[in-house]
Structure formats: C-alpha cells, structure tokens
C-alpha cells in the first residue's frame, strides 16, 4: 500500500472515529442579523408549511437545513442563489410559484436566511 492510500485510509478512519458531520449546524436564531431575521419571518409565512428549516427531515417538501452548504439543491440543480431564486419564483414539481407573493426585498432576505441553515 503506497503512502497516499495509507493517508487516505487514515483520514477516513479519523473522520469515522471523530463523528464527522456532513453539514455544519444552522446559525442560532439569536445570532441572525436583521436581514436574516426578516428572511426567517418570510420563511415562516411562505415556506414552513412544506419545508423544515432546522430539522433534517422531509415534511411535504425536502428539508432545507444545509441547503447552501451542499453542492446541489434537492432538485439536483447547483446550490446557488440563481437556482434557488428560480425555484422559489417559478415553482418546481409540486412546489407552487412564489413570485407573485414575494417582493424583491423579501426574496433577498429569504435567501439570506437560507444561507444560515
């Protein structure tokens, strides 16, 4: 076994033994700034009935915890503001479009909140 393979196995062993987590926990609500707090209110009004934000479980739609800490959104699209905005505004599959119910500031604040998850 060459040195690179030994190093890879050692790193894997350290992760397993130390309980590596795939996603960092969300920012505590008490630590959110004003924009993120308004985004949380927008989330509660428009998203919470279908998505959990601080629990890694599906409700009617996929959990949103760590949504921007992973490379891809639950849809498979890249996890970036552009793709998330497109999904929020236009809807996708069973998710209804929210474009007519959110003004641009609400959408920006919602995205700021989602980045804290």
Where in the sequence is the domain holding 43, given as residue range(s)?
Answer: 25-114
Number of domains in the chain: 1
Tokens of 63: 């959990």
Q: Do the domain assignments include residue 66?
A: yes
CA dihedral 110, 59, 95, 104 (to 10 degrees): -10
Q: Do the domain assignments include residue 12?
A: no
Q: At what angle do helices 34-46 and 104-114 cross, to 10 degrees?
A: 100
For residues 2 and 68, what is the distance between their CA atoms, to the nearest angstrom? 36
Kindly report the CATH number assigned to the domain that includes residue 90: 1.10.760.10
Q: Do the domain assignments include residue 48?
A: yes
Q: Are 73 and 95 in contact (CB under 8 A)?
A: no
Condensed to tens digits (0 to 9), the pLDDT of residues 72-101 reads: 998 899 999 999 999 999 999 999 999 899
Q: Do the domain assignments include residue 86?
A: yes
DSSP label of 78: B
Condensed to tens digits (0 to 9), the pLDDT of residues 24-70 reads: 899 999 999 999 999 999 999 999 999 999 999 999 999 999 999 99
Q: Is the pLDDT of residue 23 over 80?
A: no
């Amino acid at each position: 076994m060459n040195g690179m393979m030994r190093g890879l196995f050692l790193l894997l062993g350290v992760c397993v033994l130390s309980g590596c987590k795939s996603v960092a926990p969300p920012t505590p609500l008490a630590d959110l700034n004003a924009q993120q707090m308004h985004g949380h209110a927008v989330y509660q009004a428009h998203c919470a009935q279908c998505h959990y934000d601080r629990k890694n479980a599906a409700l009617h739609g996929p959990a949103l915890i760590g949504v921007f800490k992973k490379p891809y959104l639950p849809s498979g699209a890249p996890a970036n503001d552009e793709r998330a905005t497109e999904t929020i505004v236009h809807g996708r599959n069973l998710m209804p479009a929210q474009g007519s119910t959110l003004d641009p500031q609400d959408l920006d604040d919602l995205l700021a909140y989602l980045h804290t998850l």
